[in-house]
Amino acid sequence: MEQERTTPPNNHLAMAIISTLICCLPAGVVSIVYASQVNSKFIAGDYQGAERASKNAKTWWIISLAVAAAGIIIMLAIYGIAFIAAIASSEF
C-alpha cells in the first residue's frame, strides 16, 4: 500500500497562469484545469492520479509556451530573410 504523503506533486499552476496570459492558446487553460486536479486528487488521497495530473499540467504549459516561442522565431526568421533580401536587392 502507498503510505501517506505530505507534499503534493508540483501542480505547475504558476507556469499555467503565465503561459495562459502571455500566449494566446487554450493550452494554458487546459494546464490550469490539470493543476486543479493535482490539488483535489492529492487531498482525496489519490496520489498516483495527482502525479498524472501534474505531468499533464506540465505538458500543456510547455506546449503553450513552445508554440508562442515558435511563433516568435518563425516571424523573426521570415522578417530576417525579407530584410536581408531587401538589402541585397537594393544595393546592387
Cβ proximity to other proteins, 78 vs 85, nearer residue: 78
DSSP letters of 36-79? HHHHHHHHHT-HHHHHHHHHHHHHHHHHHHHHHHHHHHHHHHHH
The radius of gyration computed from the CA coordinates of the chain, to the nearest angstrom, equals 20
Q: How far is the CB of 76 from other proteins (least distance, A)?
A: 6
Task: Please select the residue that binds other proteins; options are 5, 43, 48, 81, rule is CB under 8 A.
Answer: 43
Q: Which residues bind other proteins (CB under 8 A)?
A: 8, 11, 13-14, 16-18, 20-26, 28-29, 32-33, 35-36, 38-40, 42-43, 68-69, 71-72, 74-76, 78-79
